[in-house]
Amino acid sequence: EADIYQTPRYLVIGTGKKITLECSQTMGHDKMYWYQQDPGMELHLIHYSYGVNSTEKGDLSSESTVSRIRTEHFPLTLESARPSHTSQYLCASSESQGTSRKYEQYFGPGTRLTVT
Amino acid sequence: SQKIEQNSEALNIQEGKTATLTCNYTNYSPAYLQWYRQDPGRGPVFLLLIRENEKEKRKERLKVTFDTTLKQSLFHITASQPADSATYLCALPPRGGGYNKLIFGAGTRLAVHP
């Protein structure tokens, strides 16, 4: 089982609140990712990081922001939550270049966010 | 743009039979293709990776084929069990690659009945 953790697992919060979704991995992976997934739909990449202090937005536009100050930690922040942010947020990581398993992604259990 | 198509209808099969799931893609030739399993409310779990120069890959009861001419991958589970019931996702690197990113299909739900 992958050593990647997300907290909280479930969050119900009111409109306008600031939230931070936590993601940590203990595998020493350089690359980390945030995906958004609605029920029955594809995962959409919203942020990725290829190392400390290096982050970029993904293919799906998102109002969230991320930071990567430490290799193992990749939190996602929403400054002002809205009902349209209601979704499942999945964090993942992958090994560095030069390893045989560099293309595999290891996922956390996800955070189910509901904004009322 | 790149597109991944997986059968949106659930696949229902009897225990012990072989399940076959299909992944079709368009508009480019990926260097590899991956299959993941996702259980309800959980993150996907990596199953298999097949490279463009490999026609077939096996892992225990799983078999994946990759036909770069048809732009299609088939995912087989032999001797299926109720515990195999889940959604199976196909994933490809985006055109141009980039930091090991992946594009995912919406998945096909498999239900194995006793």
| Chain A residues inside the 8 Å CB shell of B99 | 31, 48, 50
Contact B50, B33 (CB under 8 A): yes
Structure tokens at A90: 């999945």
Q: How far is A105 from chain B (nearest CA, A)?
A: 7
Amino acid at B60: E
Question: How far apart are alpha carbons B40 and A106 in whole angstroms?
Answer: 17
pLDDT score at B27? 80
- Name the percent of chain A in helix, strand, coil, to the closest 5: 5, 50, 50
**What DSSP line would sit under A46-95, residue for residue?**
EEEEEETTEEEE-SS--S-EE--SBTTB--EEESS--GGG-EEEEEEEEP
Provide mean pLDDT across the span A85-107: 87
Q: Read off the pLDDT of residues A13-31 as tens digits, 9 standing for 90 and up.
A: 999 999 999 999 999 999 9
Torsion of CA B25, B30, B34, B40, to 10 degrees: -40
Q: Read off the pLDDT of residues B58-87 as tens digits, 9 standing for 90 and up.
A: 999 999 999 999 999 999 999 999 999 999
Choose among B4, B99, B104: nearest Cβ to A48. Answer: B99
The number of angstroms, rounded, from the C-alpha of B18 to the middle of its chain's C-alpha atoms is 15
Tell me whether residues B100 and A105 touch, CB distance under 8 A: yes
Q: Return the percentage of chain A with pLDDT > 70, whole number.
A: 95
Provide mean pLDDT across the span A60-72: 91
User: Touching check for A41 and chain B: CB below 8 Å?
Assistant: yes
Q: How far is A49 from chain B (nearest CA, A)?
A: 9
Task: Identify the residue with better confidence: A99 or A37.
Answer: A37
User: Touching check for A108 and chain B: CB below 8 Å?
Assistant: yes
User: Touching check for A45 and chain B: CB below 8 Å?
Assistant: yes
